């Protein structure tokens, strides 16, 4: 008998949610236009008008979060076993370890016992590791926009060209002038250990219809994603990835390699009172033209709420909702990725980033996920101490620029 699919109505739910979201934005524009008209006429807005705009803005944020959750739930696996009854020997051995703690077959399997030991846990099969990685890509916003590379060592090193290589035109028989040697820099991305410890009941483990690998992947997904994202944005690089906001910041005109350039709003802790959009335009054009085709904005939802009220010189709102479910909203035509770990608008904060993050930021995944089964520490629950190694850092300091809310 085929089991009912809980997500069968998800596409219609997404479509309905998108219609509501676009309708709420139209209401937001109408209310904000009235607020701006009152400011222009009376130098201040009516309290009720301001409150209405804020309420609709909060509703927009809540609807956007709900849409993101629906979209994410579409990728969450059900706790059902695969329909096939044919499983590999290594898969069967892994299942016996997860469900019953039987390590005998794991120790006999070269594939699973390599680099493993009973006390330090066992390396999960490739299918389990790939499932965890896939779910992380769905729930980690930086993974969706940065370059992600899987490596076999704990310290990945990459040579980076800082420019200087010369080229030129020449005829078939003309002499070739000696070209300039490129300037190379070697940057390292050490992988730090990230861990989670989900708990399961023995009833779940004894249920032959439950897919333990998918359960484990779903359980560690949110924990891993939250810790990773915080590190990719603000991590200090000590026992964790180095966040793109943790590098030395420098005014864009004076930025050097190893620093992340910024553009200042010219106002302490805020946008300029007149023409606030100019700062965003300056930020878009801070990276060179080669980075702009794939550029996007990164900010938290509170900052999105602030820029959502801005209009361009023609009176058009610069923020626009997505045209379809699963697509990002846009700001001045560029996609917006919301990351809650970004700082809010305040004195000297870099609350908005813009650039090509796929060229600018590198995430390094050490191949393999290790699991230690612990049925003793939290009886009657069985704990699964799960670890993976992740690194990250800026690989192209010209690809990402920041907007700093400061005088200079």
Structure tokens at 315: 């009176």
Residue 169 has pLDDT above 70, yes or no: yes
pLDDT band at residue 197 under the 50/70/90 scheme: very high
Cα angle 256, 261, 265 (rounded to 5 degrees) comes to 145
More confident residue, 172 or 243: 243
Q: Given this model, what pLDDT does residue 80 score?
A: 46
pLDDT band at residue 67 under the 50/70/90 scheme: low
Q: Given this model, what pLDDT does residue 388 score?
A: 93
Residue 2 has pLDDT above 60, yes or no: no
Q: Given this model, what pLDDT does residue 354 score?
A: 98
pLDDT band at residue 327 under the 50/70/90 scheme: confident
**Domain ranges within the chain, ordered by starting residue:** 12-73, 83-162+183-300+339-408
Instruction: Give the separation between CA 240 and CA 229, rounded to whole angstroms.
Output: 11
Q: Given this model, what pLDDT does residue 60 score?
A: 74
Q: Given this model, what pLDDT does residue 61 score?
A: 76
Residue 403 has pLDDT above 80, yes or no: yes
* Strand pairing category for 361-366 and 382-394: antiparallel
Q: Given this model, what pLDDT does residue 32 score?
A: 82
pLDDT tens by residue, 295-321: 999 999 999 999 999 999 899 999 999
More confident residue, 171 or 338: 338
Angle between helices 212-234 and 89-100 (to 10 degrees): 80
pLDDT tens by residue, 214-224: 899 999 998 99
Q: Given this model, what pLDDT does residue 88 score?
A: 64
Task: Give the best-scoring range by mean pLDDT among 29-38, 202-211, 248-257.
Answer: 248-257
Q: Given this model, what pLDDT does residue 3 score?
A: 40
**Average pLDDT for 225-236:** 96
Structure tokens at 179: 């070209």
The answer to whether residues 254 and 286 touch, using CB atoms and an 8 Å cutoff, is: no
Angle between helices 212-234 and 126-139 (to 10 degrees): 50
Instruction: Give the separation between CA 129 and CA 403, rounded to whole angstroms.
Output: 37
Q: What is the DSSP string of 49-84?
A: HHHHHHHHHHHHHHHHHHHHHHHHHTTSPPS---S-
**Average pLDDT for 70-94:** 58
Residue 269 has pLDDT above 90, yes or no: yes
Element housing 20 (H / E):
helix 10-42
Q: Given this model, what pLDDT does residue 187 score?
A: 87
pLDDT band at residue 394 under the 50/70/90 scheme: very high
The residue with tokens 């333990």 is 212
pLDDT band at residue 167 under the 50/70/90 scheme: low
**Average pLDDT for 170-194:** 78
pTM for the full predicted model:
0.81
Average pLDDT score, the chain: 84
pLDDT tens by residue, 328-358: 899 999 999 999 999 999 999 999 999 999 9
Instruction: Give the separation between CA 41 and CA 286, rounded to whole angstroms.
Output: 36
More confident residue, 6 or 362: 362
**Average pLDDT for 380-402:** 95
């Amino acid at each position: 008998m085929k089991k009912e699919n809980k997500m069968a109505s998800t596409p219609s739910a997404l479509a309905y949610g998108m219609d509501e979201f676009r309708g709420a934005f139209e209401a937001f524009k109408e209310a904000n236009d009235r607020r701006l008209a009152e400011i222009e006429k009376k130098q201040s807005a009516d309290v009720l008008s301001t409150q209405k705009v804020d309420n609709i803005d909060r509703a927009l944020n809540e609807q956007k979060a709900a849409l993101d959750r629906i979209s994410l739930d579409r990728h969450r696996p059900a706790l059902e076993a695969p329909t096939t009854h044919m499983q590999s020997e290594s898969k069967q051995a892994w299942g016996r370890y997860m469900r019953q703690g039987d390590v005998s077959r794991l120790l006999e399997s070269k594939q699973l016992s390599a680099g493993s030991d009973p006390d330090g846990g066992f390396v999960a099969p490739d299918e389990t590791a790939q499932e965890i990685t896939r779910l992380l890509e769905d729930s980690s916003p930086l993974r969706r926009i940065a370059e992600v590379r899987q490596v076999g060592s704990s310290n990945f090193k990459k040579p980076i060209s800082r420019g200087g290589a010369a080229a030129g035109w020449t005829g078939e028989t003309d002499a070739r002038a000696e070209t300039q040697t490129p300037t190379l820099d070697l940057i390292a991305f050490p992988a730090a250990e990230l861990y989670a410890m989900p708990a399961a009941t023995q009833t779940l483990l004894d249920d032959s219809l439950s897919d333990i690998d998918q359960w484990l992947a779903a359980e560690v997904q949110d924990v891993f994603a939250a810790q990773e994202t915080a590190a990719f944005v603000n991590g200090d690089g000590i026992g964790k990835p180095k966040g793109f906001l943790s590098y030395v910041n420098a005014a864009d005109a004076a930025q050097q390699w190893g620093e992340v350039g910024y553009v200042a709003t010219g106002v302490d802790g805020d946008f300029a009172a007149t023409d606030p959009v100019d700062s965003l335009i300056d930020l878009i054009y801070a990276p060179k033209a080669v980075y702009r085709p794939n550029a996007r904005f990164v900010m938290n939802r509170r900052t999105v709420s602030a820029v959502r009220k801005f209009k361009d010189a023609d009176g058009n709102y610069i923020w626009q909702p997505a045209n379809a479910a699963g697509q990002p909203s846009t700001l001045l035509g560029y996609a917006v990725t919301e990351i809650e770990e970004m700082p809010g608008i305040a004195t000297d904060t870099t609350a908005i980033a813009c650039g090509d993050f796929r060229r600018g930021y590198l995430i390094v995944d050490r191949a393999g996920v290790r699991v230690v089964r612990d049925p003793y520490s939290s009886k009657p629950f069985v704990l699964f101490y799960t670890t993976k190694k992740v690194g990250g850092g800026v690989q192209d300091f010209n690809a990402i620029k920041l907007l700093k809310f400061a005088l200079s």
